[in-house]
Structure formats: structure tokens, C-alpha cells
Chain A
Amino acid sequence: DAKTTQPNSMESNEEEPVHLPCNHSTISGTDYIHWYRQLPSQGPEYVIHGLTSNVNNRMASLAIAEDRKSSTLILHRATLRDAAVYYCILRDRYNTDKLIFGTGTRLQVFP
């Protein structure tokens, strides 16, 4: 399974944009990039995913580098409710039944 690397922690102020980076230099051409987040005392929840093009949804945007070796999850206006651990995960076509979690990035949001 291809691996991802994320910073252990990041901080933001409320209502400011947040850019959460993820490196995946060994990504294969068919791997999808998924992001999940885990709020305190809850199960992980899906945020967004993409393959090659940048993606937007109601929760966030995903910017994917042209060489696909890195990606960035963008929260346009952080709120206190966005404080969570964010996981960047690669989903390959041979192991679609498994999600391999790293340690993620713990995002702190200050009022």
C-alpha cells in the first residue's frame, strides 16, 4: 500500500482558511486520494476524495498537485467544529476493501 505523510499537528484561528498538506510520493496512477476526519470521541467521517482534478464539496476543497505526489485539503473558513484529526488515505484498485490510516494531522482551531 502506498504511504502518506502528514504533519502531526496544525493550528488555525476561527474563520481563517486552513491548508492541510499530504505527501504521497509513491502514489500509483490509479490510486484515489481520500480524506477523512475524526472529531473527538467519534468515528471517522468522509470529507472528500479525488483522482487528478481539484475537487470541491460542501465541506472542503481538495487540491491535487499536477504530478499527484502531494495534495492539500482546504477548509475555507475554519470553525471550532472543524477541530479534529484529519487523515489522508490512498485507495488503490487492488485493495478497495481496506483503508490504511496513518496518524493524521490534529487540527486545533482557536476562537
Chain B
Amino acid sequence: NAGVTQTPKFQVLKTGQSMTLQCAQDMNHEYMSWYRQDPGMGLRLIHYSVGAGITDQGEVPNGYNVSRSTTEDFPLRLLSAAPSQTSVYFCASSYGQQNTEAFFGQGTRLTVV
């Protein structure tokens, strides 16, 4: 049972480049979400999904796109990277009920130069 797997662990992009951060979970969770964490701050929600084919915006969605074609995968796309998107990105999944826990990946550290 691998839990939540994020790839890559580290990435450096040039301003204007695009890339996709991958997130996969093997727990059959319906709920998946993406967060970013800037230095010294808590996590902020970017986008989330309550099931395959359903996505919605979180607190800071600008500059990011998501799609959910399968239960297992929830990729995060940066269409045109900007230095302000330099951050650590975490993916999470859960069953979604109030009394269940969320599982987080180990994060992707992204630097945009």
C-alpha cells in the first residue's frame, strides 16, 4: 500500500514553461486535493476533486489547472510558470467524511527562475 505518491520530488522551471505535477493514490479515495505551502506558512488549497470528472477551485487557483479522469490520479498543471509559483506542493486524498483522516504525499518542491 503506497498511499499518496507525488512525482517529481524536485523541479526547476524557467518562467513561462509548463509542467504537470503528478499525484496518485491507491486507497480508492474519492476526495483528492492540491495544496501549496510557502516558507513559514500553512498549506493553502489550490484545487480539489470529490470524484472522477468533478473538480473545483480552492483558495488560490489562479495559474493552475486540474482534471480527474480516474479515481487514482489527480494531476496539477502549471500552464505558464511564474516565480510566484515557487513553493512546495502537496497532494492529499481521503474518503471525505468528517470523521476520516486525510493522507498527504511527501511533496514536490518547485522552483521557478
On whether A103 and B31 interact (CB within 8 A), knowing A43-B104, A44-B104, A96-B97, the answer reads no
B residues in contact with A30, CB < 8 Å: 98
| Count of chain A to chain B residue pairs whose CB atoms are closer than 8 Å in the complex | 61
User: Chain A interface secondary structure, helix, strand, loop or mixed?
Assistant: loop
- Is residue B44 contacting chain A, with contact meaning CB distance below 8 A? yes
What is the bound-complex CA distance between A24 and B73, given in angstroms?
Answer: 34
What is the bound-complex CA distance between A49 and B92, given in angstroms?
Answer: 17
**How does the 8 Å CB contact mask read for B40-59 relative to A, with 1 for contact and 0 for none?**
01111100111000001010
The interface size bin for chain A is 20 to 34
A residues in contact with B101, CB < 8 Å: 34, 46, 49
Q: Are B42 and A43 interface neighbours, CB within 8 A?
A: no
Smallest beta-carbon distance A74→chain B, Å? 18
What is the bound-complex CA distance between A96 and B106, given in angstroms?
Answer: 22
- What total of chain B residues lie within 8 Å of the partner, measured CB to CB? 27
Smallest beta-carbon distance B70→chain A, Å? 17
What is the bound-complex CA distance between A97 and B103, given in angstroms?
Answer: 12
**How does the 8 Å CB contact mask read for A70-85 relative to B, with 1 for contact and 0 for none?**
0000000000000000
- Between A and B, 21 residue pairs with Cβ closer than 8 Å are A31-B98, A41-B107, A43-B4, A43-B92, A43-B104, A43-B105, A43-B106, A46-B103, A49-B101, A51-B99, A93-B98, A96-B31, A96-B97, A97-B48, A98-B33, A98-B58, A99-B33, A100-B45, A101-B43, A101-B44, A102-B42
